C-alpha cells in the first residue's frame, strides 16, 4: 500500500513537471510562429539590425533618393497608383523605416521569410528585384519616401489600398 502511494506520488509529480514544460513551450511558440525575433517582425530581415535615429526630413538626402527612385524603382512602383508593386506614397507610414530599408536591400528573404513580405508577394505575385543599392542609397530612398508621405498629407492625397480586397 505504501509503495503504491509512493509510485502514485512520483507519477503525480512527473505529470505536473511534464505539463509545466508543455505550457512553457506553448507560450514560447505562441506569440511568434514565424520564428523571427520581435525586432525582425517590426523592422524586417536584412542588414539593418538596429533602430535608426531619424531627424527632420533632410532635403539633400531626399534629392539623391528621388534620383535613385526614378532610375531604379519607378519601373515597378508609382506613387499614387498600384503598378507591378504597391503605390509608394504612404509606405513610410505603413512600415517602419528599418523595414523599408531591409525590403529594399534584401527583398528575397523578406518575401520568403517575413509574414508581411509573404503577404505582399502573394498579392502582387511578381517578386521585387534586388536593385543592389548600398545602405546609404537605401537610406536616401527612405528619406524620399518620408517626404512623399508628408506631402501626401499636406495635399490630402488619398491612399491607394495595397490589397485588392481592401477598401
Ligand atoms: C521588378 C519590379 C520591382 C522593382 C524594380 C522594385 N520593386 Fe519594390 N516591390 C515590387 C513588388 C512586386 C513588391 C511587393 C512584394 C513582392 O511581390 O515582392 C514590392 C514591394 C516593395 C516595398 C514594400 C512595400 C510594403 O508596403 O510592404 C517597398 C518599400 C519597395 N518595394 C520599394 C522599392 C524601392 C525603393 C525600389 C527601388 C530601389 C523598388 N522597390 C524596386 C516590385 C519592384
CA of 38 to the centre of ligand 1 (A): 23
pLDDT of residue 30: 55
* pLDDT digit string, tens, across residues 45-104: 999 999 999 999 999 999 999 999 999 999 999 999 999 999 999 999 999 999 999 999
Q: Do 13 and 88 have their domain in common?
A: no
Q: Tell me the chain's radius of gyration from C-alpha atoms.
A: 23
Let me know whether 49 and 23 are in one domain: no
- Residue 1 in this model has a pLDDT that exceeds 80: no
Query: Which set of grid coordinates corresponds to residue 131?
Result: 536593385
pLDDT band at 34 (very low <50, low <70, confident <90, very high): confident
Q: Please name the residue whose Cα sits nearest to atom 25 of ligand 1.
A: 91
Same domain, yes or no, for 69 and 107? Answer: yes
Tell whether ligand 1 has an atom less than 6 A from the beta carbon of residue 84: yes
Residue 131 near ligand 1, beta carbon < 6 Å: yes
Residue 61: how many other CB atoms lie within 10 Å: 18
Stated pTM of the model? 0.85
List the single range of 9-13, 21-25, 148-152 with lowest mean pLDDT: 21-25
Q: Are 141 and 79 in contact (CB under 8 A)?
A: no
CATH number at residue 106: 1.10.760.10
Same domain, 19 and 92: no
Q: What is the average pLDDT score of the chain?
A: 89
Q: What is the mean pLDDT of residues 5-34?
A: 58
CA-angle at 161, arms to 47 and 167, nearest 5°: 140
Position 117 pLDDT exceeds 80: yes
Looking at residues 124-150, what average pLDDT do you find?
Answer: 98
Distance 14 CA to ligand 1 centre (A): 53
Which carries the bigger pLDDT value, residue 20 or residue 90?
A: 90
| pLDDT attached to residue 110 | 98
Domain total for the chain?
2
Query: Would you say residue 26 has pLDDT above 90?
Result: no
Same domain, 98 and 149: yes
Which residue's alpha carbon is at the smallest distance from atom 2 of ligand 1?
76
Ligand 1 touching residue 133 (CB < 6 A)? yes
pLDDT given at position 9: 66
Q: Quick one: pLDDT at residue 18?
A: 56
Q: Using the Cα atoms of residue 111, residue 113, residue 117 and residue 121 in order, give the sign of their dihedral.
A: positive
The residue assigned the cell 490630402 is: 156
Quick one: 21 and 70 in the same domain?
no
CA 44 and chain centroid, separation: 4
Residue 32 has pLDDT above 80, yes or no: no
* Rounded Cα gap, residues 28 and 30, in angstroms: 6
Rounded to the nearest angstrom, the distance between the alpha carbon of 103 and the centre of ligand 1 is 7
- Measured from the Cα of 121, ligand 1's closest atom is 17
Amino acid at each position: 500500500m505504501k509503495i503504491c502511494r509512493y509510485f502514485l506520488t512520483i507519477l503525480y509529480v512527473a505529470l505536473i513537471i511534464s505539463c509545466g514544460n508543455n505550457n512553457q513551450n506553448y507560450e514560447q511558440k505562441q506569440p511568434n510562429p514565424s520564428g523571427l525575433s520581435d525586432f525582425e517582425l517590426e523592422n524586417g530581415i536584412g542588414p539593418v539590425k538596429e533602430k535608426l535615429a531619424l531627424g527632420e526630413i533632410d532635403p539633400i538626402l531626399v534629392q539623391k533618393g528621388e534620383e535613385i527612385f526614378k532610375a531604379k524603382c519607378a519601373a515597378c512602383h508609382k506613387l499614387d497608383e498600384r503598378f507591378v508593386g504597391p503605390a509608394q506614397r504612404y509606405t513610410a507610414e505603413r512600415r517602419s523605416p528599418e523595414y523599408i530599408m531591409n525590403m529594399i536591400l534584401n527583398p528575397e528573404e523578406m518575401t520568403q521569410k517575413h509574414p508581411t513580405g509573404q503577404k505582399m508577394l502573394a498579392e502582387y505575385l511578381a517578386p521585387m528585384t534586388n536593385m543592389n543599392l548600398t545602405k546609404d542609397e537605401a537610406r536616401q530612398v527612405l528619406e524620399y519616401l518620408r517626404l512623399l508621405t508628408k506631402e501626401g498629407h499636406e495635399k490630402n492625397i488619398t491612399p491607394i489600398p495595397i490589397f485588392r480586397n481592401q477598401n
